Amino acid sequence: MKKVLLITIVTVFGMLNISLAQEWDDPVTTSDWDQLWKSSFVQGNSALNGPESSGWFWGINLNHSSNSSSYRYNGQIAIKNDHDAPTMYFRSTNQNGSGVWSKVVNSYSNSYVGNLTTINSLRINGNNLHNKNLTFLNNSASALVGWNRSGSHGETSFISNRGSGSLGGFDFRDIDNSGIEKVLLKLTGNGNIGINNNSPSAKLDIVDDFTLLNSNSTIDANLVIRGVSSNRSINEGASIGFVLPANTNGTNYWQQGRIIVTPDNANNANAAGRMFLQTRSFGGGSWNWVSNMVLRSNGNVGIGTTNPDSKLTVNGAVHSQEVLVDVDAGTGPDYVFEEDYNLISLEETKAYIETNKHLPEVPSDKVMESEGLELRNMSLLLLKKIEEMTLHQIELMETVKNQNEKLTAQNSNMIEQNAKIENQNTKIELLQKEIEALKNK
């Protein structure tokens, strides 16, 4: 910054055709910077219309060739009397001698540029980045920017003062060749961030085109989290974490859940992925990640297991109000009721049970323990056995019915025989009475 100041002063001297070796005595003292109209060295103490309202300033006034006391077009440079924080201002005045002051240099490493409409490039070299390198200031907003890491500091800070506004914040915009502006990034004063979105309604609000369900692009999403690694390992992935307080008073923040995507295999040139839904759980004396659910690239889903062997593999109990199982055509056991179905007899079933200790076609307990149960097949098999049992019951019912009919017929015959016997007995009793009557005569 000293180099900039020296070049500026030398340039001014050259314009005035003044030798650097020439000495000057007292400068012109002014009480109002707007009243200057002659080229001169100037000083002023709390003068009117100066760069600041109070304090000593030394400067140079460069007048127009046609200037007069009523025609005051000037170029002015003023330096503040402050050896701890030297400050330089400059301005160009109108006919009345007035104009806006712009701050150029303040202290050794801080620079100010104000009231600029166009800057092609600006380069600032500084050592003390922690105390800011470049600052834009006005009445309603400010931005503090630092570059290049130096020592323990290297942060870049943007500070927005919303003033009388409702939100404040920052816009990062793009202007195309047609002059059309587009908001690329929006940071509002309430902390919301919008990407391609001028009115973010959440801490991160992204507006983008729809993502195609069957896209073939290598990367195609509205939000991408990239996990960088030097190899392809099923134990490394990209994740989204969820952090919550571990203490009841809202302190001691821990990550308690996450979604992590890893390679589904370690093969080269292979993009198959695996997704885990994990929560943190205490066990074995430490807090560990538990994979509650996993989605494999083959479409298998595991709950309580990381290696599902079916579309849904659950390592544990399932509690449900209803389970709907699809049945392929022709697999329902209604064929049991066809006339040509070979229904095994109860005698054969009895003999099979006595030998094998389980129903025909039903797996034994040893097979169930080693291979498990297929819910659909077992349900169909049990239904088949119920239908076979129903046929046996119907057959037994028919047999009982026939026997009952025979018994009914036999009972009818017996009743008829009993009636005949009763009739014969009645006749015998009458004959006996007649015989007794004849004997008594």
> Tokens for 324?
């709907």
pLDDT in tens, 102-153: 987 554 444 444 443 334 444 444 444 334 444 444 444 444 444 444 455 4
**pLDDT the model gives residue 173:** 84
- The DSSP code sequence of 99-153 is ---EEEEETTTEEE--S-S--S------S-GGG-SEEEE-SS-EEEE--S-BTTB
Nearest residue to 110 (alpha-carbon basis) of 126, 130, 121, 88:
126
Indicate the helix (H) or strand (E) that contains 78. Answer: strand 74-80
CB 127 within 8 A of CB 118: no
Three-state DSSP state, 20: coil
Strands (E), 162-251: 169-175, 181-188, 193-195, 204-206, 238-245
Is residue 302 classed as helix, strand or coil in its secondary structure?
strand
Identify the segments of the chain with pLDDT beneath 70.
1-25, 105-167
Residue 123: name the closest of 111, 115, 131, 132 by CA: 111
Tokens found for residue 86: 């030297």
Check if the beta carbon of residue 301 is closer than 8 Å to that of residue 307.
no
Query: How far apart (Å, rounded) are the C-alpha atoms in residues 229 and 120?
Result: 40
Tokens of 214: 């069957």
| 248-270 confidence digits (pLDDT tens) | 999 999 999 999 999 999 999 99
Q: What is the DSSP string of 342-406?
A: -PPPHHHHHHHHHHHSS-TTSPPHHHHHHH---HHHHHHHHHHHHHHHHHHHHHHHHHHHHHHHH
Alpha-carbon distance of 156 to 139, in angstroms, equals 22
Whole-number Å distance between alpha carbons of 385 and 390: 8
Enclosing H/E stretch for 415: helix 375-440
Tokens of residue 160, six digits = 């927005």
User: What separation in angstroms does the CA of 166 have from each of 161, 162, 190, 191, 204?
Assistant: 11, 7, 9, 13, 19
Give the closest residue to 157 by CA, choosing from 132, 137, 181: 132
pLDDT of residue 163: 53
DSSP track, 24-47: --PPEE-SBGGG--S-EEEEEES-
